[in-house]
Amino acid sequence: MIIGHRSLETRWWGPTPDVAPTLVLLHEGLGCVALWRDFPDALAEATGCGVFAYSRFGYGASDPAMLPRPMRYMHDEALDVLPRVLDAAGVRRAVLLGHSDGGSIATIFAGEVGDKRVAGVVLIAAHFFVEDLNIAAIRAITETYEQGDLRARLARHHRDVDVAFRGWSDAWLDPRFRAFDITQQAANIQVPVLALQGTDDPYGSDEQLHALERAVARPVQTRLIAGARHAPHFDARRETLDAIVPFVRSVLMERAA
């Protein structure tokens, strides 16, 4: 897919937008299309929806991104890139499903753009504000990247692994990033929201869910998933699908009515 003369890696699972609604997957800060693994297949089979994923610039096989990333990089992704991706993909009716940074991007998009194609939002381990444990976990994984085998493992999935990792870690570890807070964008969301968080997530506590519950005036469902870490869709696949599938069906049925 070409966006502004640059190439984005994309992939579809299941039916196309002219046949069924679309689940649009927005990956985490170190993710890409490949790192969703078999989760899109499971979503397509369980919901009957098409599933569309793309690697943001600087990730996967997409074209590189300029470093350092600005402190508002997630706002830029939500307000500039994502609307053009939805247009280019031909999305007609959708539920956004964002993991970690992708969840924050989905929140900003839903709260500021208000795109009528979007019937609901699923947020997995999304960040609405910065926590001390979040920064501590990023410092720890940065040490692993520099001294362990994480760089080699990530390099199998990213065209430029240093751009992917440093673009994310350097932004979050910049003292200015402490000001990141998107609870107002969450408050502006006008569609139903489902938010999931693992009880053992090193990148965020249940205070993220509480902040969302306080902010959102529209219907919001939250669920803490016992024993899951930062990726409940891998750590607790069945429980995660059991939450997502009925939510997707309900919001799409409501929109169709």
- Distance (Å, whole) CA 220 – CA 241: 17
CA-based end-to-end distance of the chain:
33
Rounding to the nearest 10 degrees, give the CA dihedral for residues 153, 35, 244, 136: 40
Rounding to the nearest 10 degrees, give the CA dihedral for residues 81, 84, 89, 93: 100
CATH number at residue 234: 3.40.50.1820
Per-residue confidence in pLDDT tens, the chain, 257 aa: 999 889 999 999 999 999 999 999 999 999 999 999 999 999 999 999 999 999 999 999 999 999 999 999 999 999 999 999 999 999 999 999 999 999 999 999 999 998 999 999 999 999 999 999 999 999 999 999 999 999 999 999 999 999 999 999 999 999 999 999 999 999 999 999 999 999 999 999 999 999 999 998 877 999 999 999 999 999 999 999 999 999 999 999 865 55
> Are 229 and 141 spatial neighbours (Cβ–Cβ below 8 Å)?
no
> Where do the H-state alpha helices sit in the chain?
39-47, 73-76, 82-89, 101-112, 132-147, 150-155, 161-173, 183-187, 207-215, 232-235, 237-256
Q: Could you write out the three-class secondary structure of 61-97? A: CCCCCCCCCCCCHHHHHHHHHHHHHHHHHCCCCEEEE
Report the number of distinct structural domains present in the chain. Answer: 1
The distance of Cα 174 from the centroid of its chain, to the nearest Å, equals 21
Please enumerate in sequence order all residues whose Cβ is within 8 A of that of 175, keeping only pairs 6 or more positions apart, or say none.
none
- The domain of 227 spans 2-256
Please enumerate in sequence order all residues whose Cβ is within 8 A of that of 113, keeping only pairs 6 or more positions apart, or say none.
78, 79, 82, 83
